[in-house]
């Protein structure tokens, strides 16, 4: 592994002027449901509406002059698109994003609002070939999750959790390609080695779970989930290395369980999350993740970028 605690701490200092130190709040109602002391890490309140900006800003800051001049290309269903476009604007780098045609309008509009140029692919599984074609034209490919600097930036979430709940026992993390959970593991386990980290994936996008079962990254033929922020068609190699070493388990839940988490957050915590951001809470509510009695549990609310009309439909 080429990234460690020193990298995480360096990244945190570098991004401080561009990202927020998001609140971590207790949730008595969630704690009652799961028989533990529950806390929510509110990355839905982060700049660009998700945790993604942490890694994006740090990775953008580390580009060489030649890479900056060439411009960046990346791929995303929306949250990384916004974050990397935001980071590109902050560092004067042109960003092209390949997005699926099914990306939510809110995320498309925000990406353009941050100055990103968008190219559309028919499906999530066709993003990478389009990126590779643009890379062949000279653009620098900034991977949205399988990148040491992105992981180091995301590790700031883990560092903040330990500062706010020094005796944390369990952290539950939504999982797409593995960027957030590998970063959280990097920061958390270095300072709180006894804490457990559990990831949560949708049934229709099990890139990390299938990779762990196979012992190597597996490219999914298709992804089908309401949680577009967790719809990565494969897990990153760098991410898998950290996950295999430091993550206790990655569980799989249904879209309905994810929506139960979303509804709970709105009704009981007055927190607006997108489906991906509600996955950790959904896994706790449905029993896919079972803390021990009285444990200190942090559920990461990873993002809040949801179209108002879609949110209304989820709550109906």
Kindly report the three-state secondary structure assignment for every residue of 124-188: HHHHHHHHHHHHHCCCEECCCCCCHHHHHHHHHHHHHHHHHCCCCCEEEEECCCCHHHHHHHHHH
305 backbone φψ class: left, alpha, beta (φ>0; ψ -120 to 50): beta
Cβ-count burial of 67 within 10 angstroms (0-12 exposed, 13-18 middle, 19+ buried)?
middle
Beta pairing class for 24-26 and 37-42: antiparallel
CA angle 166–169–171, rounded 5-degree value = 95
* Angle of helix 237-246 versus helix 207-214 axis, rounded to 10: 70
Strand partners, 296: 37
Catalytic residue among 41, 52, 189, 210: 52
71 backbone φψ class: left, alpha, beta (φ>0; ψ -120 to 50): left
Which residues, 6 or more positions from 199, have their beta carbon under 8 angstroms from its beta carbon? 172, 173, 174, 175, 178, 181, 208, 243, 247, 249, 250, 251
CB–CB of 84/116 below 8 Å?
Answer: yes
286: closest CA among 205, 200, 204?
200
User: Is 302 assigned a catalytic role?
Assistant: yes
Maximum Cα interatomic distance, the chain, rounded to a whole number of Å: 56
* Cα–Cα distance, 177 to 230 (Å, whole number): 7
CB–CB of 188/173 below 8 Å?
Answer: no
Catalytic residues: 52, 302
């Amino acid at each position: 592994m080429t990234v460690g605690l020193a990298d995480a701490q360096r990244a945190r200092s570098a991004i401080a002027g561009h990202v927020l130190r998001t609140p971590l709040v207790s949730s008595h109602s969630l704690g009652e449901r799961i028989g533990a002391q529950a806390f929510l890490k509110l990355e839905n309140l982060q700049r660009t509406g998700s945790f993604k900006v942490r890694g994006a800003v740090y990775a953008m800051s580390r580009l060489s002059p030649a890479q900056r001049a060439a411009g960046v290309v990346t791929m995303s269903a929306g949250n990384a698109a916004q974050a990397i476009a935001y980071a590109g604007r902050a560092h004067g780098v042109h960003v092209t994003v390949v997005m699926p045609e099914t990306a939510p309008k809110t995320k498309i509009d925000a990406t353009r609002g941050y100055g990103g140029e968008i190219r559309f692919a028919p499906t999530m599984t066709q993003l990478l070939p389009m990126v590779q074609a643009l890379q062949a034209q000279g653009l620098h490919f900034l991977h949205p999750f399988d990148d040491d600097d992105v992981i180091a930036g995301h590790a700031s979430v883990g560092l903040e959790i330990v500062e706010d709940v020094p005796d944390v026992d369990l952290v539950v993390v939504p999982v797409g390609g593995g960027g957030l959970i590998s970063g959280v593991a990097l920061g958390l386990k270095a300072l709180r080695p006894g804490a457990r980290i559990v990831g949560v994936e949708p049934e229709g996008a099990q890139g990390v779970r299938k990779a762990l079962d196979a012992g190597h990254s597996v490219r999914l033929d298709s992804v089908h989930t309401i949680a577009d922020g967790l719809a990565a068609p494969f897990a990153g190699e760098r991410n898998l290395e950290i996950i295999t070493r430091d993550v206790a388990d990655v569980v799989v839940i249904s879209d309905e369980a994810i929506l139960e988490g979303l509804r709970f957050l709105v009704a009981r915590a007055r927190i607006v999350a997108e489906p991906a951001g509600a996955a950790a809470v959904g896994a706790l509510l449905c029993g896919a993740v079972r803390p021990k009695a009285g444990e200190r549990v942090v559920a990461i609310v990873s993002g809040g970028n949801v179209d108002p009309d879609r949110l209304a439909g989820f709550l109906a």
